[in-house]
Chains A and B, each alone.
Chain A
Amino acid sequence: MIAEAGHYALVLALALALIQSTVPLLGARWRDLALMNVARSTAIAQLVFVAASFAALIALHVSSDFSVVNVFENSHSMKPLIYKITGVWGNHEGSMLLWVFILALFGGLVAMFGNNLPLSLRAHVLAVQAWVASAFYLFILITSNPFLRIANPPIEGRDLNPVLQDIGLAVHPPMLYLGYVGFSISFSFAVAALIEGRIDAAWARWVRPWTLVAWIFLTLGIAMGSYWAYYELGWGGWWFWDPVENASLMPWLAGTALLHSLVVMEKRNALKVWTILLSILAFSLSLLGTFLVRSGVLTSVHAFATDPTRGVFILLILCIFIGGSLSLYAWRASALKQGGLFAPISREGALVLNNLFLTSACATVFVGTLYPLALEVLTGDKISVGAPFFNLTFGPLFLPLMIAVPFGPLLAWKRGDLLGAAQRLIGAGAAALIAVAVVWAWMLGGSTFAPLAIGLALFVMVGALSDLAERIGLFRVPLATAVRRAGGLPRSSWGTVFAHAGVGIALIGIVCETTWNSEYIGSMKPGDVARIAGYELKLDGVNQRQGPNYREMIAQFSVGLDGRPLDTMTPSKRSFTTRGSTTTEAALLTRGASQLYISLGDTAGNGTIAVRIYHKPLVLLIWFGPVLMAFGGMLSLSDRRLRVGAPKPAKSMRGLQAAE
């Protein structure tokens, strides 16, 4: 009954989406307010029905109703409750339902909080949003229905993939989807602007909060996924340049570029045409990511060819939306008026440079991800494009970008003073040089790359702080005045400082982890001691334990530093009987920002066990950086000027009505 209700709710949501994708457009054409307002009610109603459908699937999973295929294939009655819930999106059908739920959520939010939007713009935006929604409802209902029943219900389910039975599944996919799908809003705004043939700085002000929300969640989602891979896979790696990861990195790069170009558009009314293109690209790359992950094309080009319904359907959605929006862009973009002038050396120029490097980096990731697929389809040759490719392409493009980051906020709008900015960055430059010298001396001439990269990271961080010091006049005015000024600084300026510093912090983590990572791989028996980076790890013993739906072999290590006992670590290996597979649960010991990491291998007959121990210096900074970036984003979002529904000065209201 619940399954049928959920299915029916989804069909109703499709019907509502179809209404929402047509009626408001007619309303906008005929200037009929009632018809335009249909968009608002249908968007909210759509959200209610998709939420009901999603809740139905959760209820089915929680109650372990194995007469539903999706529950049977991905659940088990003994599974802990949290994994029964997260298992809903740990599979293809459920994760697509989460996708449309979040899409409807964003549509509903625009409907609810978009009261200050011009009526016709809101109608257009919600209509475009409904086109996307309709396409994906159809996809789910036709090819991936999660509510299908089995004729003869089995007694027990086949359990969720053990790797996914982790708290990471509760957080990572929803966050990633909030990011991916959030870019649909900027896409809808861009297409709406193209249809209306009118775009202005106010447009950028409406789009920016939505883009910022999507970007914050995408940043956190990617960081979370990376940390999850790090502790769950047992390999100590945190980024593999895997196509699935690249699929989320590409929208992030495009989205970061979009955030910056929106600033130019909002402040200076320039770069309009480019911003529209970036909005389209960011969401197109999200759709591409969905296609790559969901169509099975990564598993095998041949599997895709033999069971093509899903893949072809998403490919069709991809072609229609990307092709359609780009055609519309080609046709209408020239009609948009060009905006303000600026000199190449100016804040605008710096932001253009940022966009240029971010999109080029995005393009190299795109090539590296899709080239193997294209080559296999065209010639049958199989190649793998891995970390070396991306290190050689992505790295060199990020280098100049990082050097430029501290300059951007110090340049004035319209016409900047590069020499002046450089003078203000002397402190940051000196800090960077000292760091390079200290690290190089400390390493006694090891790799030359690491000290330089750390110097660069420090330049970015101190550069962000000197921008802050410059703004509040630190060291130039009395301290009390400076503090007062700091309080009065717009939150978005604080956001910039935190986000840019976050980039530098992440870079330090990345460099330290890759350069000074030490590793011990060997077989140990109880009583053996392994020494790594000054720590002594003694294997005390190995025990067996029964978990809710698995058996576990736990090894206990006591960790000591310089002869003093410090802590114990208990890595384990879990065998899941239902699926007949094992997972490795690594043990982590955090010391400051560094971590000790133990994962277990196979046991041998003579009582020894293979272990892999890592010491990863400052590894936590890799994820602390993105968290700080997201925090900067949130500060920026809370800026009064951007607050959704914030009262606007009367003057700009008049401006809007005049534009109507």
Chain B
Amino acid sequence: MTRRQRRLTIIGGSLAVLAVAAALVLNAMRDSIVFFSTPAMVAEKHIPPGKRFRLGGLVQPGSLVRGDNLAVTFQVADGSATLPVSYKGLLPDLFREGQGVVAEGALDAFGVFRADNVLAKHDENYMPKDVADALKKQGHWKDEYGARSDHNANSGASRAAQGTPQTGQGALR
């Protein structure tokens, strides 16, 4: 093999691997990406039953019903619409009525959102980013959601960074 042929082999091989990688990425993009919706968006868009998405909003106060063997139902509201959610399993530590929540799953034939995962990605200082953004967009954002983190901070020193979780680089999530 000449130097030129060797170089061509290596370049050709590299391009082939890169093409495979690109094809894999495009394929996965089509199938495995989950969109985010709020109850109002669900009402508008007529998402078909069985299509997976992430539902975000506030847990409607008073709507949490615990059934047998860890089955729970609750309503997720975003100020203009509500959607019933059913879930079986352990709720995250920070799940509370009136607080933000993100659930992943799909609608069933009766229009109930069957969640297979309720996310615990927030601490008491901040709301899941999707929820906060959606609420702000709809004008339902109340300042105390963000201000809670600074409730006892001195005025001069408080950094009003709503939504900055105080987690280090090493923070888990």
* Bound CA span A364–B153, Å: 43
Q: Determine if B24 and A164 form an interchain contact, defined as CB atoms under 8 angstroms apart.
A: no
Q: Determine if A89 and B70 form an interchain contact, defined as CB atoms under 8 angstroms apart.
A: no
Residue of A nearest to B68 (CB): A523
Q: Determine if A161 and B33 form an interchain contact, defined as CB atoms under 8 angstroms apart.
A: no
* Bound CA span A364–B1, Å: 33
Say yes or no: is B43 at the interface (Cβ < 8 Å to chain A): no
Residue of B nearest to A94 (CB): B168
Contact with B along A595-628 (1 / 0, CB 8 A): 0000101101000001010000000000000000
Q: Determine if A601 and B90 form an interchain contact, defined as CB atoms under 8 angstroms apart.
A: yes
The interface residues of chain B lying within 8 Å CB-to-CB of A169 are 168, 170
Q: Determine if B165 and A381 form an interchain contact, defined as CB atoms under 8 angstroms apart.
A: no
Within 8 A of A (CB), among B31-84: 31-36, 54, 66, 69-70
Q: Determine if B123 and A581 form an interchain contact, defined as CB atoms under 8 angstroms apart.
A: yes
Q: Contacting B170 at CB < 8 Å: which of A225, A368, A579, A582?
A: A225
Q: Determine if A161 and B161 form an interchain contact, defined as CB atoms under 8 angstroms apart.
A: no
* Bound CA span A389–B157, Å: 42
Q: Contacting B13 at CB < 8 Å: which of A356, A521, A522?
A: A356
The interface residues of chain B lying within 8 Å CB-to-CB of A108 are none
Q: Determine if A299 and B173 form an interchain contact, defined as CB atoms under 8 angstroms apart.
A: no
Q: Determine if A89 and B17 form an interchain contact, defined as CB atoms under 8 angstroms apart.
A: no
* Bound CA span A46–B169, Å: 24
Q: Determine if B170 and A300 form an interchain contact, defined as CB atoms under 8 angstroms apart.
A: no
Q: Determine if A344 and B17 form an interchain contact, defined as CB atoms under 8 angstroms apart.
A: no
Say yes or no: is A321 at the interface (Cβ < 8 Å to chain B): no
Say yes or no: is A469 at the interface (Cβ < 8 Å to chain B): no
Say yes or no: is B86 at the interface (Cβ < 8 Å to chain A): no
Within 8 A of B (CB), among A382-426: 382-386, 388-393, 396-397
Q: Determine if A302 and B161 form an interchain contact, defined as CB atoms under 8 angstroms apart.
A: no
Residue of B nearest to A576 (CB): B124
Q: Determine if A161 and B154 form an interchain contact, defined as CB atoms under 8 angstroms apart.
A: no
Q: Determine if A173 and B170 form an interchain contact, defined as CB atoms under 8 angstroms apart.
A: yes
Q: Determine if A173 and B168 form an interchain contact, defined as CB atoms under 8 angstroms apart.
A: yes
Q: Contacting B33 at CB < 8 Å: which of A296, A389, A523?
A: A389
Say yes or no: is A172 at the interface (Cβ < 8 Å to chain B): yes
The interface residues of chain A lying within 8 Å CB-to-CB of B28 are 388-390, 392-393
Residue of A nearest to B134 (CB): A382
Q: Determine if B170 and A610 form an interchain contact, defined as CB atoms under 8 angstroms apart.
A: no
Q: Determine if B161 and A384 form an interchain contact, defined as CB atoms under 8 angstroms apart.
A: no
The interface residues of chain A lying within 8 Å CB-to-CB of B31 are 388, 392
The interface residues of chain B lying within 8 Å CB-to-CB of A391 are 32
Q: Determine if B36 and A240 form an interchain contact, defined as CB atoms under 8 angstroms apart.
A: no
The interface residues of chain B lying within 8 Å CB-to-CB of A54 are none
Q: Determine if B90 and A343 form an interchain contact, defined as CB atoms under 8 angstroms apart.
A: no
* Bound CA span A582–B96, Å: 12
* Bound CA span A39–B93, Å: 52
Residue of A nearest to B35 (CB): A383
Say yes or no: is A215 at the interface (Cβ < 8 Å to chain B): no
Q: Determine if B3 and A225 form an interchain contact, defined as CB atoms under 8 angstroms apart.
A: no
Say yes or no: is B109 at the interface (Cβ < 8 Å to chain A): no
Residue among B25, B27, B70, B168 with the highest chain A CB neighbour number at 10 A: B168
Q: Determine if A612 and B90 form an interchain contact, defined as CB atoms under 8 angstroms apart.
A: yes
Say yes or no: is A91 at the interface (Cβ < 8 Å to chain B): yes
Q: Shortest Cβ distance from A85 into chain B, in angstroms?
A: 13
Contact with B along A486-500 (1 / 0, CB 8 A): 000000000000000
Q: Determine if A341 and B13 form an interchain contact, defined as CB atoms under 8 angstroms apart.
A: no
The interface residues of chain A lying within 8 Å CB-to-CB of B157 are 69, 72, 148, 150-151
Contact with B along A217-261 (1 / 0, CB 8 A): 000000001001100111100001010100000000000000000
For chain B, which range describes its interface: under 10, 10 to 19, 20 to 34, or 35 or more residues? Answer: 35 or more
The interface residues of chain B lying within 8 Å CB-to-CB of A393 are 21, 24-25, 28
Say yes or no: is A293 at the interface (Cβ < 8 Å to chain B): yes
Q: Determine if A161 and B129 form an interchain contact, defined as CB atoms under 8 angstroms apart.
A: no
Q: Determine if B33 and A384 form an interchain contact, defined as CB atoms under 8 angstroms apart.
A: yes
The interface residues of chain A lying within 8 Å CB-to-CB of B172 are 163, 225, 228-229, 232-233, 244
Q: Determine if B32 and A396 form an interchain contact, defined as CB atoms under 8 angstroms apart.
A: no
* Bound CA span A390–B28, Å: 8
* Bound CA span A172–B171, Å: 9
Q: Shortest Cβ distance from A268 into chain B, in angstroms?
A: 14
Q: Determine if B171 and A357 form an interchain contact, defined as CB atoms under 8 angstroms apart.
A: no
Instruction: Known A161-B123, A521-B90, A610-B70; judge A299-B33 contact (CB<8 A).
Output: no
Say yes or no: is B138 at the interface (Cβ < 8 Å to chain A): no
Contact with A along B1-22 (1 / 0, CB 8 A): 1010010011001100110110
* Bound CA span A90–B24, Å: 37
Q: Contacting B164 at CB < 8 Å: which of A154, A228, A296, A344?
A: A296
Say yes or no: is A466 at the interface (Cβ < 8 Å to chain B): no
Say yes or no: is A332 at the interface (Cβ < 8 Å to chain B): no
* Bound CA span A393–B130, Å: 26
Residue of B nearest to A367 (CB): B25
The interface residues of chain B lying within 8 Å CB-to-CB of A557 are none
Q: Determine if B21 and A299 form an interchain contact, defined as CB atoms under 8 angstroms apart.
A: no
Say yes or no: is A168 at the interface (Cβ < 8 Å to chain B): yes
The interface residues of chain A lying within 8 Å CB-to-CB of B70 are 521-523, 601, 610
Q: Determine if A90 and B14 form an interchain contact, defined as CB atoms under 8 angstroms apart.
A: no
Q: Determine if A344 and B9 form an interchain contact, defined as CB atoms under 8 angstroms apart.
A: yes
Say yes or no: is B139 at the interface (Cβ < 8 Å to chain A): no
Say yes or no: is A129 at the interface (Cβ < 8 Å to chain B): no
Q: Determine if B161 and A303 form an interchain contact, defined as CB atoms under 8 angstroms apart.
A: yes
The interface residues of chain B lying within 8 Å CB-to-CB of A558 are none
Q: Shortest Cβ distance from B144 into chain A, in angstroms?
A: 14
Q: Shortest Cβ distance from B1 into chain A, in angstroms?
A: 7
Q: Shortest Cβ distance from A399 into chain B, in angstroms?
A: 11
Q: Determine if B27 and A357 form an interchain contact, defined as CB atoms under 8 angstroms apart.
A: no
Instruction: Known A69-B157, A303-B162, A343-B6; judge A382-B167 contact (CB<8 A).
Output: no
Within 8 A of A (CB), among B123-173: 123-124, 126, 129-130, 132-133, 136, 152-154, 156-157, 161-173
Q: Contacting A583 at CB < 8 Å: which of B13, B21, B93, B170?
A: B93
* Bound CA span A397–B24, Å: 9
Q: Determine if A360 and B18 form an interchain contact, defined as CB atoms under 8 angstroms apart.
A: yes
Say yes or no: is A584 at the interface (Cβ < 8 Å to chain B): yes
Q: Determine if A523 and B35 form an interchain contact, defined as CB atoms under 8 angstroms apart.
A: no
Say yes or no: is B112 at the interface (Cβ < 8 Å to chain A): no
Q: Shortest Cβ distance from A342 into chain B, in angstroms?
A: 7
4 more CB-based (< 8 A) A-B contacts, given A72-B153, A158-B153: A89-B168, A163-B171, A177-B169, A522-B70
B interface vs A, CB < 8 Å?
Answer: 1, 3, 6, 9-10, 13-14, 17-18, 20-21, 24-25, 27-29, 31-36, 54, 66, 69-70, 88-91, 93-94, 120, 123-124, 126, 129-130, 132-133, 136, 152-154, 156-157, 161-173
23 contacts between A and B (CB under 8 A): A72-B153, A90-B167, A92-B166, A92-B168, A150-B156, A158-B153, A160-B166, A168-B170, A234-B93, A244-B171, A300-B163, A303-B162, A344-B10, A360-B21, A383-B34, A386-B34, A388-B31, A392-B24, A581-B93, A581-B123, A583-B93, A601-B90, A612-B90
